[in-house]
Amino acid sequence: MLFTPINIGGMNIPNRFVRSATHEWMAKSDGTPTSRIGDLYEKLAINEVGLIITGYAYVNPKGKSDLFQQGIYEDKFINPYREIVSRVHKYDSKIVLQISHGGRQTMITTDNPYVLAPSSVIETTKGITPEEMTENEVLDTIEDFAQAVRRAKEAGFDGVQLHCAHGFLLSNFISPYTNRRKDRWGGSTEKRTQIILDIMVRIRELVGEKYPILVKLNVTDGFKPGSRRHALDAPESIEIAKILAKNGVSAIEVSGGIAEAGDELFRKCIDSPEKEAYYKDYAKMIKKQINVPVILVGGIRSKKIMEMLLMEDYADMISLCRPLIAEPDLVIKLKKGETDISKCVSCNLCSDENGIKCNYNFNK
């Protein structure tokens, strides 16, 4: 099953492998993507990764989260992205741009001294209390996301993914821990999801009904049970997935964790099958309730578990981040039977400001 095709919102993908969005630290300081990023994606395409999701691209400089992050906030980005996309399209792979606003995890700089979020809830890892967004700031951000999608389509991307996970702005909106608003974008589950629906409406006005829009969704903020009274978790996140699927989202990638919850987001030391696919039970619950493909990410390492996830209806696609940093040719190796498990030891040393790479001994 791993090597059978699948269709997402009209996009034909040759196999079930996804390169999960991975910030590369390879863009210019204004966010312009470089040929280094193109080299990386082309390598993944040569090595038969069915769907490549880019690193997160910021839709407005006020929502930039990290150094050397790629941007998509002006039309000047269309041409450089077009070049990158055309390199991937020489092969069978599809490529989707992940778009994001940093929200509580925006990087503070002299040019951008304020962090914007749905509500002024202190981010305890950095000790920063964000400004609550005004109604106009929310409306402008909806437009920023939609314009980013228009640019992505003009650049030739096969679709986009809205980053609604990991404690960035849209993940802040869906979580009751970080969204305490009392207006149209806060309160009930539906109201906390409303900003994503507003973005979807505007996207459809700009690019039509047929363009694939994926969502990477936090299914849990990741706090230990009982440690926060109001945080996002199932069953509420399952309801959110249902709302999104009913409102034109083409696929949902199941993920979880925010920085304040500790190591949840990229769990370390995945060294046994029991530790693999740590959000699989959420994915199964979601897959039962929605009729668009479910993509699962997080600690998937062995072919045995990948096959089990597809066969036993946990997910439709297998998404990998750190394993493809360690071995960009992992998919081909699995296909040829040259290996049945990733070499990745989940040490997280691949987060490298000089550009992602596996910094564990075996690659030195």
Q: Whose Cβ is closer to ligand FMN: residue 148's or residue 165's?
A: 165
In the complex, what is the shortest distance from the CB of residue 254 to ligand FMN, in angstroms, rounded to a whole number? 10
Helix (H) or strand (E) holding 199: helix 189-207
Going through the chain in order, the beta strands assigned E by DSSP cover 6-8, 11-13, 17-19, 51-53, 57-58, 70-71, 94-100, 116-117, 131-132, 159-164, 213-218, 251-255, 294-297, 317-320
Q: Are 129 and 122 in contact (CB under 8 A)?
A: yes
DSSP 129: P
In the complex, what is the shortest distance from the CB of residue 283 to ligand FMN, in angstroms, rounded to a whole number? 13
Which residues contribute to the site for ligand FMN (CB under 6 A)?
20-23, 55-56, 98, 163, 165-166, 216, 255, 266, 297-300, 320-323, 350-351, 356
Q: Whose Cβ is closer to ligand FMN: residue 97's or residue 146's?
A: 97
Q: Are 321 and 297 in contact (CB under 8 A)?
A: yes
Helix (H, G, I), strand (E, B) or coil at 231: coil
Of 14, 88, 96, 11, which is closest to residue 56 (Cα–Cα)? 96
Distance CA 159, CA 342 (A): 28
Q: Can you read off the two tokens belonging to residue 345?
A: 């030891």
In the complex, what is the shortest distance from the CB of residue 361 to ligand FMN, in angstroms, rounded to a whole number? 18
SS3 sequence of 159-194: EEEEEECCCCHHHHHHCCCCCCCCCCCCCCHHHHHH
Residues 6+ apart with CB under 8 A from 138: 185, 195
In the complex, what is the shortest distance from the CB of residue 40 to ligand FMN, in angstroms, rounded to a whole number? 12
Q: Whose Cβ is closer to ligand FMN: residue 20's or residue 93's?
A: 20
Helix (H, G, I), strand (E, B) or coil at 103: helix
Q: Can you read off the two tokens belonging to residue 12?
A: 């034909």
Biggest CA–CA distance in the chain, Å, is: 55
Q: Whose Cβ is closer to ligand FMN: residue 191's or residue 275's?
A: 275
Cis upstream peptide for 61 (omega within 30°): no
In the complex, what is the shortest distance from the CB of residue 266 to ligand FMN, in angstroms, rounded to a whole number? 4
Q: Where are the alpha helices (DSSP H) in 53-107?
A: 78-88
In the complex, what is the shortest distance from the CB of residue 47 to ligand FMN, in angstroms, rounded to a whole number? 16
Helix (H) or strand (E) holding 137: helix 135-155
Instruction: Compute the residue count for the chain.
Output: 364
In the complex, what is the shortest distance from the CB of residue 168 to ligand FMN, in angstroms, rounded to a whole number? 8
Q: Can you read off the two tokens belonging to residue 76?
A: 């000047």
In the complex, what is the shortest distance from the CB of residue 165 to ligand FMN, in angstroms, rounded to a whole number? 6
In the complex, what is the shortest distance from the CB of residue 324 to ligand FMN, in angstroms, rounded to a whole number? 8
